[in-house]
A and B are shown apart, each in its own frame.
Chain A
Amino acid sequence: MIAVDVRNLCKTYRVFRKQEGLWPSIKGLFHREHQPVHAVAGVSFQIERGEMVAFLGPNGAGKTTTLKLLAGLIYPTSGVATVLGYVPWQREIAYRRRFALVMGQKNQLWWDLPAQESFRLHKEIYRIDPTDFERRLDELTTLLEVKKLVGQPVRELSLGERMRMELIAALLHRPDVLLLDEPTIGLDVVSQRKVQDFLKQYQQEQRLTVLLTSHYMKDVQALCQRAIIINEGEIKHDGPLAQIVDRFSKFKVIELQFAGESLPGELDRFGEVFDVSFPRAKIRVPRNQVPEILSALLSAFPLEDVGVHDRPLEEAIAEMFTSTRATAPEPAAAVIP
């Protein structure tokens, strides 16, 4: 059964051009020139009930705009979408009871009150059955390990703890569809992991339909089988995540911390060196050569610490798009399978 059905969705913003100089800005008071920004330009996809899909793309690709459309916060310029059979931007109360939107830092929790009180208010607003509520609250706070913190004013919580409380607030009413915009942005590694583990477990148990945007490769890899890649408002890829990782991440980054007095020379025979600040340096190397290069590095230099990282997916994708646009005659052809 299809939970989210998006067909040819377009959202064009009008941005007003700032006028330079006195006379043009006076004229601008009466007649402002604007130009269109095609934030979402003909997007179509379907998501099955119980599927968890990652929505990826560089900054400004149109991810947040798409989520806002699906949450009914904005009207499309053209196209149609239904979520659970509802047209989101009609904002029917029945629809509002069945989905939740979590947008990064924008909190639905009361800042000065303990999260518990916000939760109780949600219980009333969403008319959650009292015993059901207690059980779910207990379950969610246990899973997210914030049981002890629910009585503390939200403003005293760390970003990571607050985000976990936001997730609880979003899930208490047992939504069928969850829209997550950058759920782990700005979180420390521990919180990131907790949120990931939680989402994975919870989503599988509840057969929740989730659409999540993120630019942490780790999030996406840990959580989703399928990814939709969007750039400049258009879908560039929609398919299994495995394909994307191979396709877009041909390189890895080796991060080195040297033990010596100064940076050794001739580093660049191992790969492309960037972001050097002694005693640290990063080298970009082809994925398939990581083991050889790593052992060569270890034997060549005295090292304090070594790390191998995936490049941020967003960065990889962005680079991919700029390079295809610069070289290939048909930019999309290289990406769409």
Chain B
Amino acid sequence: MLASAQTSWFILRTCISERLTYRADFAFATLVRFLPIVTQVFLWSAVYAGNETQRLNGYTYRNMVAYALLVMVGRAFSSMPGLAAGIARDVRDGTIKKYLTQPVDMLAYLFWARVAHKLVYYVVATGPFVLVFYLCRGYFEQTPDLITIAAFAYALALAFLIGFLMECLIGFISFWFLEVSSLIFIFMMINYFLSGHMVPLDWLPGLFQRWPAVQEIARQTMTCLPFQYLAYVPASILLGKLQGHDLAWQLAVGTGWVVLLLAANRLVFNRGVRRYSAFGG
């Protein structure tokens, strides 16, 4: 166990130094990711037409900007650029052999590589994040209490794990179909809507207003899907929209998803390798 922790630490370290070879490109990409928040502020101020007290689906203008900012934080944990595509490339060009002949577990390896990726990102992004949040502090209505902050931190960890496991799962599908880029695209589209990246998730059932039964089903379904943990859940925790029993329930369901996705990854990986091995590696 200890030896394996040390191996993980080494994988982590090696991945960090690899990430750092492209630091200039990386720093630039990080800064570019802050641009959308400016457009978000403008967009929502246009939608609310400067009316500070108006509420849309329960969100004031300031709530909306705060939501957009928190979604950005959630996605800093849950988005996994290049993960699925990278796995597909490894399968296609044979790099996957490395994981099958060396005494390593591919999923663990990918996990530590991604942790390294994120850590380097946070080092670069923390400064800008702090600055943006400081400038936008006026949009937040109350200071969160300790329980909320703890729940938020837990939700961010879930965001990372669920994001990671879902992308890996898609990557492993390349054992069956070498080309998964359109699948990745569809996944990103679904993700955009169902994670609450586009608008808060509790707005979506409103689309089915005319059919109350459908609306209820949509609402129920959405609170069970894993996508919401990638952005909506952490954001609504910090905004104080999820509390008490509901909060505990959401976090429990999220934990359940981690376990389920982990099991699914193991299964799909083993099946995939078996298929790969049958077809010629």
Q: Could you tell me which A residues sit within 8 Å of B by CB distance?
A: 13-14, 39, 65, 68, 71-75, 89, 91, 93, 96-97, 99-101, 103, 106, 108, 110, 112-113, 117-118, 120-122, 124-127, 153
Q: Is the CB of A125 within 8 A of B103?
A: yes
How many inter-chain residue pairs (CB < 8 Å) link A and B? 74
Flag if B100 contacts A97 (CB, 8 Å): no
| Residue contact B11 to A113, C-beta cutoff 8 Å | no
Chain A residues with Cβ under 8 A from B100's Cβ? 72-73, 91
Q: Is B207 an interface residue (CB 8 A)?
A: no
Q: Which of B267-281 contact A (CB under 8 A)?
A: 274, 277-281
Most chain A C-beta atoms within 10 Å of own C-beta, residue among B11, B14, B103: B103
List chain B residues, Cβ under 8 A from A108.
Answer: 98, 102
Would you call A89 and B277 a contact (CB within 8 A)?
A: yes
* Cβ distance A240 to chain B, nearest Cβ, rounded Å: 31
Contacts of A125 in B (CB 8 A): 7, 10, 102-104
- Return A79 CB to nearest CB of chain B, in Å: 15
For the complex with contacts A106-B97, A121-B11, A125-B104, 17 further pairs of A-B residues with Cβ separation under 8 Å are: A13-B280, A14-B279, A39-B280, A68-B280, A75-B278, A89-B277, A93-B103, A96-B101, A97-B103, A106-B94, A110-B14, A113-B14, A113-B21, A117-B14, A117-B17, A118-B14, A124-B10
Contact assessment for B281 and A74 in the assembled complex, using a CB-CB cutoff below 8 Å: yes
Question: Which among A71, A75, A113, A127 is the interface contact of B274 at CB below 8 angstroms?
Answer: A75
B97 touches A112 (CB 8 A): no
A120 contact set on B, CB distance < 8 A: 10, 14
Chain A residues with CB below 8 A from B7, complex form: 124-125, 127
Q: Which residues of A sit under 8 angstroms from B97, Cβ to Cβ?
A: 71, 73, 101, 103, 106
B281 & A113 in contact (Cβ 8 Å cutoff) = no
Nearest residue (CB) in A for B273 is: A91
In the assembled complex, which residues on chain A have CB atoms less than 8 Å from the CB atom of B281? 68, 73-74
Cβ-closest chain B residue relative to A88: B101
Q: Which residues of chain B from 88 to 135 have a CB within 8 Å of any chain A CB? A: 93-95, 97-98, 100-104
Output the nearest chain B residue to A77 by Cβ-Cβ distance: B278
| Nearest CB of chain A from residue B273's CB, rounded to whole Å | 8
Residues in A with CB closer than 8 Å to B22 are 112
User: Nearest residue in B to A155 (C-beta to C-beta)?
Assistant: B21
Binding site of A, secondary structure by majority: helix, strand, loop or mixed? mixed
Complex CA gap A79/B280 in Å reads 16
10 A-B pairs with C-beta separation under 8 A? A13-B279, A39-B280, A73-B281, A74-B278, A91-B100, A93-B103, A96-B101, A120-B14, A125-B7, A126-B103
**Contact, CB under 8 Å: B278 / A121:** no
Which residues of chain B are near A97, meaning CB under 8 Å? 103
Smallest CB separation, A324 vs chain B (Å):
29
Contacts A113-B18, A124-B7: A72 and B101 contacting too (C-beta < 8 A)? Answer: yes
Type the 1/0 row for B19-52, where 1 means its CB is closer than 8 Å to any CB of A.
0011000000000000000000000000000000
Complex Cα–Cα for A13 and B3 (A): 40
Docked Cα-Cα span, A97 to B102, in Å, equals 7
Chain A residue, CB-CB nearest to B19: A112
Q: Which of B7, B18, B280: most chain A Cβ within 10 A? A: B280
Shortest Cβ distance from residue A158 to the other chain B in the assembled complex, whole angstroms: 20
A74 to B3, Cβ gap below 8 A?
no
* Complex Cα–Cα for A96 and B102 (A): 6
**CB-based nearest B residue for A121:** B14
Task: Known A106-B95, A120-B10, A121-B10; judge A112-B18 contact (CB<8 A).
Answer: yes
**Bound-state Cα–Cα, A126 to B104, Å:** 9
